[in-house]
A and B are shown apart, each in its own frame.
Chain A
Amino acid sequence: MDTQQSSIPLLKLRGISKSFPGVRALSNIDFDLESGEIHALLGENGAGKSTLMKILSGIFPSDAGEIYVAGKLVILDGYEAAMQVGIGTVYQEFSLVPFLTAAENIFLGRELRTPFGILRRREMRELSAKLFERLNVHVDLEAELRHLSVAQQQFVEIAKALSINARILILDEPTSTLTPTEAQHLFAVMRDLKRTGVGIIFISHHLEEIFQICDRITVLRDGENVATVPMKSTHINALVEMMVGRQIEQSFPAKPMRSGLGEVVLEVDRLQINRHDPEDSFVVRAGEILGFAGLVGSGRTEELMAVLGVTPAHHKVIKLDGKVIRLNDPADALAHGIGILPESRKAEGLITSFSILINISLNRLSSLLHWGMFVDRGRERREASAAAARVGVKTSSIDLPVDSLSGGNQQKVVLARWLSHHIRVMLFDEPTRGIDVGAKAEIYRLIREVSASGCAVLVVSSELPEIVGLCDRVVVFRQGHIVATLEGDAITPEIVMLHAVGGERTHV
């Protein structure tokens, strides 16, 4: 029996590949999960973890490759198919209904009914209680889900997965929202499940956690399986190296020689979003590019939005050129010459159905008036054309809708809008997300140009090469706050990643 188990893994992936338009998300992935094993999946943002997980939970099919569960070839053409073969997934964002109880959530869509179609509530509640007993956790079965703690909600998710007799459990960053104590409880539950023969795929960015609980670790990078190693025979630096070990692309403009530091333009002093948060401070100087590094969800965008006054902050002092200014609305920021290229160009940057022209002149109309009232359309057109040409928007006409442009050109339109103003500070939030390599190089060149013109530039990026190749100084975020500031030669992928994942704590 034992020998058979080790020769036939619980889950076996062979040659899994997946492409999206313009991106190769996964190429030729092999992956094994044994029964009773906790197997970590590790990698940078965009390394392909989520894609792999979505293929396993049947959300979309792979382009090529085979999946075997307990030695049998399976086709996962939907969420139900994945459930049927015993693959249960706990998503990063919970897929639970906040106004239903735990039991109602567990049986959602698969409710037990009497022959007359009436719900068998008591039976469902008893079965739920048994599941929680098996997990050895206490969850109030009467309470609506929104009244439970985040950790308890997570256990409800796990119970839901187990209720379909999952033998393979995928946990996608389950600890990102848990306190350390709650995380320990989750690990205890995971060990219990492991003993009953469940195989667990554990996705996490926190290396210390991975070392605490996992048996084997698979590192993905750029959609490829870099290595699968037993936990006992590796160490944290080796893993970081595997995660980031890519050549920095040569698409970055040369960093200027630093002849002394520029003047401090923007100073954010003791920013506190919520009352008891630690205080974060940083400065951006003229002619420098400051990087905000960190993992997705590490709080970088939140701090930018609080600085601009888009969202409220409990406490903040912002100085521009040494003078305290009040920013309660992005309009105040515009008045002080602070521009933002938001994280999502479709949702926050552009009015996609409107023309390129209108998108560029959007926040400039009040200075394009004649007779003090009417938009001077001739001047508007000339200025917008000039701005579009300056950033190199490739289009046959600026009257075309902005969604006719490629992603890179759309970003240039957002930038053109700000460059028509006298801008002192330009904030870029994930400026190259979802655009192709050639366009990225152009955006990098534009960012460097903006910086060279004496503007203070801040770039939020989750892509290490970008942080390393573009930024003169780097602030690293972890779990909502600044944990390190790096300069010069200290900006290496390994050091940035180490701070971002909190690896250095395991050395202490």
Chain B
Amino acid sequence: MMRRFAWFRRQSTFYPLVGLIVVGIVMAATSSTFVSLANFSNVLVQVSINALIAVGMTFVILTGGIDLSVGAVMALSGTIAAMLMVSGVNATLSLFVCVAAGFAIGMINGMCVAYGRMPAIIVTLATMGVARGLALMITGGYPVDGLPEWVRGVGNGHVIGIQTPIIVMAVVYVIAWVLLELTPFGRHLYAIGGNEVATRLSGIRVARYKMLAYVVSGVTTGIAAVVLTGRLMSGQPNVGEGSELDAIAAVVLGGTSIAGGRGSVIGTLLGALLLGVLNNGLNMVGVSPYAQIVIKGMIILLAIYIGRERRR
């Protein structure tokens, strides 16, 4: 029994799970409406955008990198799609372009970091500026409205009684889990984060895999942009400011080592849920949004502190 518990404690998802349960219990005790199917569904939809960005971010952080461009990329992808639709392009095709734009910027990030050997934090800070600037340029700074009505279904619709963002999130997480846990690609990403030099000397094409991690991050950000476009029913150049911090917070809260090599997408999902539940609960209790930011920051510090202890 004790041994099994010790095994469980060593899993990177242990602390996020405990955190989620503790926060859940506290919320349930303080708010009568917290425990309800409607509210759970609401929380899941609320976290879906961040969870989608964070799952790609997990791939990047597992290699020991970081992607700061995600918020701006989401804005750029969303505005491109909205403008295409408004100019009469087929909506399905437009949403496909939305994901493709994320793919393209992820590719640029990856090329610079992996083949150009530039530091990830600076590369993605720069592409963050480029993407945000482009989004503002093409829209003139104004939201792009007047999208076809069926696009609303992507953000607010239901499929077999479940809201679409939840389904999209679930599908993406399953694919991500399969990629990371069952394929050589995933194993190599962990290996790169664990020891990049050793991985390279063993004959793995490290640069290629590192680049692909940024591509995954770009793609999931593009998918997040699709969901967001459906929810807002417009393309807005200002969305996603600070999204990179929320995504990184979800990844770190989920037990993924910021140095790479250790973590999981399940942890990231738990991390995103933890942030979402906290948000939801604090709203219900009536804590001011400004105080919520302070609390969130402190929780991230705590998560990093616990992660530091565990690495010994």
Which B residues are in CB contact (< 8 Å) with A342? 198, 201
A349: interface (CB < 8 Å): yes
Binding site for A on B (CB under 8 A): 178, 182-184, 187-188, 190-191, 194-195, 197-205, 261-262
Judging by beta carbons under 8 Å apart, are A366 and B198 in contact?
Answer: no
Decide: A363 near B200, CB < 8 A? Known: A350-B195, A358-B187, A375-B182. Answer: no
Instruction: Give B130 Cβ to nearest chain A Cβ, in Å.
Output: 30
Question: With contacts A331-B204, A348-B198, A351-B199 known, what are 18 further pairs, Cβ within 8 A?
Answer: A330-B202, A334-B203, A348-B201, A351-B191, A351-B194, A351-B198, A354-B191, A354-B194, A358-B187, A358-B191, A363-B202, A365-B184, A365-B187, A366-B184, A374-B183, A375-B182, A375-B183, A417-B202
Min CB distance A180 to B, Å, is: 35
- For the complex, give the distance between the alpha carbons of A374 and B199 in Å: 20
Q: Is the beta-carbon distance between A331 and B199 smaller than 8 angstroms?
A: no
Inside 8 A of B187's CB, which chain A residues have their CB? 358, 362, 365, 375
User: Does B199 lie within 8 Å of A362, measured CB to CB?
Assistant: yes
Q: Which residue of A lies closest to B202 (CB)?
A: A363
Contact B202 A353 (CB under 8 A): no
Chain A residues 345-397 with CB under 8 Å of chain B are 347-354, 358, 362-363, 365-366, 369, 373-375
Cα distance A334–B203 when bound, in Å?
A: 5
Given contacts A351-B191, A351-B195, A351-B261, contact A330 B184 (CB under 8 A): no
Most chain A CB atoms below 10 A, which of B184, B188, B190, B199: B184
A333 to B204, CA, bound (A): 10
Whether the Cβ atoms of A350 and B198 lie closer than 8 Å is yes
Q: Please name 12 pairs of A and B residues whose Cβ atoms are closer than 8 Å in the assembled complex, sorted by A.
A: A310-B201, A339-B203, A348-B198, A349-B198, A351-B191, A354-B190, A362-B187, A363-B202, A365-B184, A369-B184, A373-B182, A374-B178
Q: State the Cβ distance, A416 to closest chain B Cβ, in Å.
A: 12
Say whether A334 contacts B200, CB under 8 Å.
no
Shortest distance from the beta carbon of B201 to any chain A beta carbon, whole Å: 5
CB-defined contacts of B201 to chain A, threshold 8 Å = 308, 310, 330, 340, 342, 348-349
A224 CB, min distance to chain B CBs, angstroms:
36
Check if A363 sits within 8 Å of B194, measured CB to CB. no
Q: Are A331 and B194 in contact (CB under 8 A)?
A: no
* Bound CA span A204–B184, Å: 49
Inter-chain CA distance A70–B183, complex, in Å, is 68
Q: Across the interface, do A362 and B205 meet the contact criterion of CB distance under 8 Å?
A: no
Provide the bound-state CA to CA distance between A354 and B203, in Å: 17
Contact: B202 with A347, CB < 8 Å? no
Contact of A329 (CB < 8 Å), options: B190, B197, B198, B205? B205
Q: What sequence of 0s and 1s flags, for each residue 299-340 of chain A, a beta carbon within 8 Å of any chain B beta carbon?
A: 000000000101000000000000000000111011100011
| With known contacts A351-B261, A365-B184, A375-B183, A310–B198 Cβ distance under 8 A | no
Question: Nearest chain B CB to A308's CB is how many angstroms away?
Answer: 8
Instruction: Judge whether A362 and B191 touch: CB under 8 Å.
Output: yes
- Chain A: minimal CB distance from B58 (Å): 18
Q: Majority SS of interface residues in chain B?
A: helix
CB pair A334–B202 under 8 Å, yes or no, is yes
Distance in Å: Cβ of B113 to nearest Cβ of chain A: 17
For A353, list chain B residues within 8 Å (CB).
194, 261-262
In the bound assembly, the distance between CA atoms of A310 and B198 in angstroms comes to 11
B195: nearest chain-A partner, CB-CB: A351
B264 to chain A minimum Cβ distance, whole angstroms, is 14
Tell me the bound Cα distance from A374 to B185 in angstroms.
9
Chain A nearest CB from B168 CB (Å) reads 22
B20–chain A nearest beta-carbon distance, Å: 25
Contact B200 A362 (CB under 8 A): no
Return chain A residues, CB-CB under 8 Å to B195: 347-348, 350-352
Query: How long is the Cα–Cα vector from A352 to B261 in the complex, in angstroms?
Result: 11
User: How far does the alpha carbon of A366 sit from the alpha carbon of B178 in the complex, in Å?
Assistant: 16
Q: Which residues of chain B come closer than 8 Å to A310, judged between CB atoms?
A: 200-201
Q: A373 touches which one: B183, B198, B204, B205 (CB < 8 A)? A: B183
Nearest residue, chain A, Cβ from B187: A365
CA distance A243 to B239 in the complex (A): 72
Enumerate chain B residues within 8 angstroms of A350, measured Cβ to Cβ.
Answer: 195, 198
Bound: A340/B262 CA distance, A: 26
Q: Nearest Cβ in chain A — how far from B176, in angstroms?
A: 14
Closest-CB distance, A460 to chain B (whole angstroms): 14
Residue of B nearest to A421 (CB): B203
**Contact residues in A for B261 (Cβ distance below 8 Å):** 351, 353-354
Q: How far is the CA of A373 from the CA of B185 in the complex (A)?
A: 9
Q: For B187, B195, B200, B203, which residue has the most chain A Cβ atoms within 10 angstroms?
A: B203
Residues in A with CB closer than 8 Å to B188 are: 365
Given known pairs A362-B191, A365-B184, A374-B183, the reply for A347 and B200 (CB within 8 Å) is no
Contact B197 A347 (CB under 8 A): yes
Chain A residues with Cβ below 8 Å from B190 are: 354
A354-B191, A373-B183 given; A331·B205 CB < 8 A: yes
Q: Chain B residue with minimal CB distance to A329? A: B205
Tell me, in angstroms, the Cα distance from A333 to B194 when the chains sit together: 22
Across-interface contacts of B202 in A (CB, < 8 A): 330, 334, 362-363, 417
Query: Which among B178, B183, B195, B204 has the greatest number of chain A C-beta atoms within 10 A?
Result: B195
Instruction: Choose among A310, A330, A352, A417 the residue with the greatest number of B CB atoms under 10 Å from its CB.
Output: A330
A185–B148 CA distance with the chains assembled, in angstroms: 82
Question: Closest 7 CB pairs between A and B?
Answer: A334-B203, A351-B194, A365-B184, A363-B202, A351-B195, A374-B182, A363-B203
Which residue on chain A has the smallest CB distance to residue B179? A373
- Bound: A366/B208 CA distance, A: 15
Q: Are B203 and A331 in contact (CB under 8 A)?
A: yes
Write out the residue numbers on chain A whose beta carbons fall within 8 Å of the beta carbon of B184. 365-366, 369, 375
Asked whether A330 lies within 8 Å of B198 as measured between CB atoms, the reply is no
Q: How distant is B265 from chain A, measured CB to nearest CB, in Å?
A: 16
CA distance A466 to B198 in the complex (A): 25
A308 to B203, CA, bound (A): 10
Interface residue ranges of A87-111 to B (CB < 8 Å): none
Residues of B within 8 A of A347 (CB): 195, 197-198
- What does the 1/0 interface line of A451-474 toward B look like (CB < 8 Å)? 000000000000000000000000
Q: How far is the CB of A325 from chain B (nearest CB, A)?
A: 14
Within 416-468 of A, Cβ neighbours of B (below 8 Å) are at: 417
Contacts of B203 in A (CB 8 A): 330-331, 333-335, 339, 363
* A330 and B183 form a contact (CB under 8 A): no
